[in-house]
Amino acid sequence: MESKKVVALTRPVSRCDEAKKLIESYNAEALIVPTLEIELLNSPTLKSFMEEVSNMDWLIFTSVSSLDSIYKYYPDFNEKINNKCKTAVIGHKTAEVAEKYGLQVDLIPRDYTAEGLLESFENINIEEKIIGIPRTYSARKILPEELKKRKAKVILAESYKSILPHDTSKIKDLITKILNKEIDAITFTSPLTVHNLFKVAEDKSEDLSLALSDYLLCVSIGPITAKALDKYNVKYVYPDRYTVKDMIELMFDMI
């Protein structure tokens, strides 16, 4: 009897349900080893953001975590938004969660990246409009910078941090399994999931790069995460549509 394929998931446990179910539907084993943790924050900038929210013309949510943070600390958030304020999100999952919290989603880009969102705004007049973006401060700067170039007033707020797990023992075990060829595929859903894995690997980084490229299938959710893999000379594939479902389907087409 053929043994089950083993697929490693590096995203936070709370974000693994969909991927785990999809992997198991292929009669494979999902090995969940987060290489990052999400820390929700009610930062000083988020408090300032909330003082301005009633004046905002657009809200942009780039991740589920930004929504979870807002509604954890400000459960009455919807009551504070003016009725002319519109909401844009990146990704269908973020849209689902936004709607679950009672927000009407007005804009989802076809390409689930900051660049895709900026393209969607090309035919929308945002000059002098107030745009609020709660997110992690480690996120790329292209979105707020480009919106500012289009003369929008952008209000950023730190609503969460992506951090290396305090206990890295499971990550070290994962690295050993990869080097011992006990993993068939691995998924990465953000640049930090990549960087943190290699940070823990330390002097084994070169061997890890080789193993990820030659002994298993390395799957990135999209081109931004792929750039992080490029830094470590890792070979990878990613789907045409940057979703967990498309990523898993591509993987099982190839392993």
Output the pLDDT for position 114: 93
The mean pLDDT value for 97-115 works out to 95
Q: What CATH number labels 40-162?
A: 3.40.50.10090
Extended beta strands in the chain, E state: 6-9, 29-32, 37-40, 58-61, 86-89, 130-135, 153-158, 160-163, 185-188, 217-220
Q: Where are the domains of the chain?
A: 6-36+164-254, 40-162
Confidence of residue 171 (pLDDT cuts 50, 70, 90): very high
CA dihedral 244, 118, 115, 95 (to 10 degrees): -10
Can you give the pTM of this predicted structure?
0.85
What is d(CA 213, CA 255) in angstroms, rounded to the nearest whole number?
A: 14
Asked whether residue 87 carries a pLDDT value surpassing 70, the answer given is yes
Q: Could you tell me which residues come within 8 angstroms of residue 204 by beta carbon, excluding any fewer than 6 positions away? A: 175, 179
What is the full DSSP assignment across 105-125? P-B--SS-SHHHHHHHTTTS-
Least confident of 83-87, 95-99, 139-143: 139-143
With cut-offs at 50, 70 and 90, classify the pLDDT of residue 138.
Answer: confident
**pLDDT higher than threshold 60 for residue 1:** no
Q: Has residue 160 got a pLDDT over 60? A: yes
Q: What is the pLDDT of residues 36-59, one digit of tens each?
A: 999 999 999 999 999 999 999 999
Write out pLDDT tens, residues 187-219. 999 999 999 999 999 999 999 999 999 999 999
Mean pLDDT of 153-166: 96
Range 219-223 contact pairs with CB under 8 angstroms and sequence separation of 24 or more: 219/185, 219/186, 219/187, 219/188, 219/247, 219/250, 219/251, 220/187, 220/188, 220/247, 221/187, 221/188, 221/189, 221/190, 221/247, 222/112, 222/113, 223/113
CA angle at 157 for the pair 153 and 133, rounded to the nearest 5° = 55
Three-state SS at 147: helix
Its CATH class, for the domain covering 6-36+164-254, is alpha beta
pLDDT at 229 (0 to 100): 98
Give residue 106's Cα distance to chain centre: 20
Q: What pLDDT score does 3 carry?
A: 83
Q: Which amino acid is at 68?
A: D
Tokens matching residue 120: 């969607």
| Mean pLDDT of the residues in the chain | 95
Domains 6-36+164-254 and 40-162 share a fold: yes
pLDDT tens-digit readout, 218-244: 999 999 999 999 999 999 999 999 999
